[in-house]
Structure formats: C-alpha cells, structure tokens
C-alpha cells in the first residue's frame, strides 16, 4: 500500500480547497463537496489515481445515518475513509429525497476532509455561531465548552461496544454540546469501527 499512500500524501500536502462559498445569512465562508472535488481533479490526474465516493444508509441506535465512503485508488491499492451524517426527521421546505441528498452531501464532504486532511475546525459548521454573537462572553463560553467537548469526544474513543457508545451519545445529547458537529463527527467515526 506504500505507493497509494505516497501519492495520497502528495495530494494532502499540496491540495488547496478554499472556502469559496458564502452564507450571507450566517456571514461565513464554507466549502462544499463539489468544490473539494473540483480542486482534486487535477491532482488525481497528475498522480494517475482515481477517487470514488459511495453512500450507504445505516441505522445506529434507532437513528438513520448516511455513511459516505471516499476511496482513493492508485496502482490497484486503495485507501478509504468514512463519515456519517444523521438524517433529520424533517426539514422545513425539503421533501424526503432532498433531506437525504443534503445529508449525503454533508457526509461526503467530511469523508473527503478525512481522506485528504482538509481541516474544517475553523468552519462555521464546527462552531455553529453563524456569525450571530461575537461578544467577549460568547468567546469565553466557547473556550470553556472546548474542554467539555474534548471530554465527550474522548469518552467515545474508549467505549468497547456500539451499545456503550450509543449510551455515551445519549448522555452527550442531553448537554449543550450533543449536537455540535465535532461531537457528532467523533461519534460517527467511533461508530464506524463497530459497523462493518
């Protein structure tokens, strides 16, 4: 797998996938899966590799998730990452197919982020402030919450079974951090270990 890993590492180091889209309501910039793919195509061509992305609908703890898998293939060797996004039971103004499609796009974006080492920690998805409150009090609260979110995320990593992990996630949902994208992503990553 060394050849594929070397080619993937080359792309990870050189790839620039800018946040070229803007949410005017939330006043933040973001990137989409489509933007990442557009930035990747010349690199994939240059190293003679292919990228495939697939989705699977899975149920975890009674909730429906889209599991996206991004696979980098070079010279017959493949490296994959997965990401999960939970379908909302309903979303105003969207039919069921649109909800699933939006969930798929979100999961694919994070699978690509994982595979190509694209950092989204400063993205509005990670903070959920959407530019609405920039006060010192908000910043202090955010800094305090980082420690709690880290503890929740670390607690996911030490669970021995999917049932234990689901129980930890249920406890996390009862905190202000249970719906934070970083917490949900960490839960999804840990759950993927138990779901094969």
The predicted pLDDT at position 90 comes to 67
Residue 141 in this model has a pLDDT that exceeds 60: no
Residue 51 and residue 71 in contact, taking contact as beta carbons nearer than 8 Å: yes
State the average pLDDT over residues 31-40: 90
pLDDT tens-digit series, residues 5-21: 999 999 999 888 878 88
Task: Classify the C-alpha dihedral 4-7-10-15 as positive or negative.
Answer: negative
pTM: 0.60
pLDDT digits (tens, 9 = 90+) for 41-74: 999 999 999 999 999 999 888 888 999 999 999 9
Instruction: State the CB neighbour count (10 A cutoff) for residue 24.
Output: 7
Nearest to 42 by CA among 11, 9, 77, 78: 11
CA proximity to 31, closest of 106, 133, 114, 116? 106
**Count of alpha carbons within 13 Å of 5, Cβ hemisphere only?**
2
Q: What is the pLDDT of residues 142-175, one digit of tens each?
A: 444 446 767 777 777 787 777 887 788 888 877 7
Gyration radius (Cα) of the chain, Å: 18
């Amino acid at each position: 797998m060394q050849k594929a890993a070397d080619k993937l590492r080359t792309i990870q180091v050189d790839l620039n996938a800018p946040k070229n889209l803007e949410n005017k309501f939330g006043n933040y910039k973001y990137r989409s899966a489509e933007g990442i793919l557009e930035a990747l195509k010349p690199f994939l061509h240059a190293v003679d590799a292919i990228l495939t992305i697939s989705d699977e609908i899975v149920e975890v703890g009674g909730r429906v998730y889209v599991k996206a898998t991004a696979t980098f293939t070079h010279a017959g060797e493949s490296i994959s990452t997965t990401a999960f996004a939970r379908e909302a039971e309903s979303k105003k103004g969207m039919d069921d197919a649109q909800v699933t499609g939006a969930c798929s796009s979100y999961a694919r974006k994070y699978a690509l982020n994982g595979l190509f080492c694209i950092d989204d920690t400063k993205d509005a998805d990670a903070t959920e402030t959407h530019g609405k409150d920039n006060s010192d009090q908000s910043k202090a609260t955010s800094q305090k919450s980082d420690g709690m979110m880290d503890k929740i995320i670390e607690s996911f990593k030490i669970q021995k079974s999917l049932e234990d992990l689901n129980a930890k996630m249920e406890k996390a949902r009862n905190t202000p951090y249970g719906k934070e994208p970083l917490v949900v992503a960490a839960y999804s990553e840990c759950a993927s270990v138990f779901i094969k």
